[in-house]
Structure 1
Amino acid sequence: MRVYVSADMEGVTGLVDADDVQPGGRDYERGRSMMAEDVNAAVRGALAAGAGDILVNDAHGPMRNLLPEALLPAVRLVRGRPKQMFMLEGLTGEYDAMVCVGYHSRAGAPGVLSHSFMGHEIEDIWLDGRPVGEIGLAHATAAALGVPVVALTGDDAACAEMAEWDASVVTVPVKYAHGRFAAELRPEAEARKAIEDAVADALATVPARPAPAAGESVLTVRWQSAAVPATLLGLPGVTAQDGRTVRASGPLPALYRQFGVWMRVASSLTNQAPYC
């Protein structure tokens, strides 16, 4: 069994603040260690379920948060950027299942460190008219490749968001949001054991592969800065919905890759801290 793990950081056990998850933050080094331990818990669960090939993609920020030596030796790690598929780099239809570790709720939603990809710069995203964040877009893209998402870890808001998308996904709340920068934390050992057990259970009976998506989807993004959509209109296929909102259509996962280009354009035009 081949298992793909996409590892974000905001939804990791014990982390609640930008200083926990951003390089240079006073608690970032501790945060990256906590991230590795959550990933290792998921890996142990996958191994217990019989996984013979596990690929972990460092999907947070600079995508150099996970140190190879901090992970279990069974893991292959993708780190660094840019990546064409950014949070889903390396995912193909050859994988039997996908696990999301350390995920968070979308921009504007309640939840610890909630945002969508670029902090304040992205205000809202819709996929086929439905509000979406990193969770829903990852799930939809994986489904388009025929790979089921079987488990997700994060705070209770992230777990609820995944349940809205697919109630069959096993979710593990490692903390309970009391605000955007505050949470009630599960004890570390308890949270890691819950992750390990949940992933093992989810992979014990991998669900049937979703049928690869047919046809096109529509991705709509509202930006904080009007400069971003004005520039994106120079790209083929991008149209304006209003002065701060652009849209494009196409099949997933190609549309997901295109969105990655949009974010690289936006990064070149803005310099806003993601959690200010």
Structure 2
Amino acid sequence: MTRQSGSTVTSRRRWRRRVASLPILVAVAVGATVVDPPQTSAATLVWSDEFTGTGGTSPAASRWNWETGGGGWGNNEWQTYTNSRVNSRLDGNGRLAIVGRLDNGFVTSARMNTLGKFSFTYGTVSARIKLPAGKGLLPAFWLMGTDIYSVGWPRSGEVDVIETPSVTTSYTNHLHGPTTSGGHWQLGNGGAIADLSTDYHVYSVTKSRNAITISLDGRTVGTYRAGQLRSGQQWVFNKPTYVLFSLAIGGNWPGAPDLTTPNPSYMLTDWIRAYSA
């Protein structure tokens, strides 16, 4: 378990006490017309989830796993991830809702993955998501190597397709990998953009041999190639990776929530689709 500093614990307690008196805000999912990302004529849909089903029910266990527990998740995060329908459920309108919330002093959320149920080496995965805005929130759509439990991180490799720590008027994407000396390297892209929390947007990642491209509504916002790496940095992405959705709260990055942070907060996903190379 990650030890938390006294200042972190004090900030958390202060947020818990003050935010507990705030009204519960209910997010209303509003549809928007977004053109699906173009696919080449050779691309074939190989896996998807449209999140259809009765409101309040579980996403398909045949497609998703739930990672559970607290302990900071390596970043001094505040939330405990659960598999409860309080934190992850279908909304009845064809969307997955991942919900971060404060209940009786406990911060909870959800982290879902497809390990053992779907992975891909090369191809494109796209998801149409409405991200939550709020200080201290870190929603993410990302990939991890399927060998995570045998080689560990960062040798597994990590691809962060979209992360918006606290602020949804800018985007970030990253690659994380290992060095030959046992260290960690990181490459990233980011920039200002119209508020991503006001509507749904399509986030895509395309993996090919020695290259990864990330796009937002069909526009490339990150290009990474093995040739960019420096001596001693290793490219570990020419292998199967699986998908994760998560909504973290607090921690070293993005920092603590405050009175303006909605409780609960919603990360809404309309669909996720994977295409062959």
Above 0.5 in TM-score?
no
Give the structure-1-normalised TM-score. Answer: 0.29
Tell me the TM-score normalised to structure 2 length: 0.29
Q: Structure with the greater relative contact order (CA < 8 A, sep ≥ 6): 1 or 2?
A: 2
Q: In proportion to residue count, which structure has more helix? A: 1
Which has the larger share of strand? 2
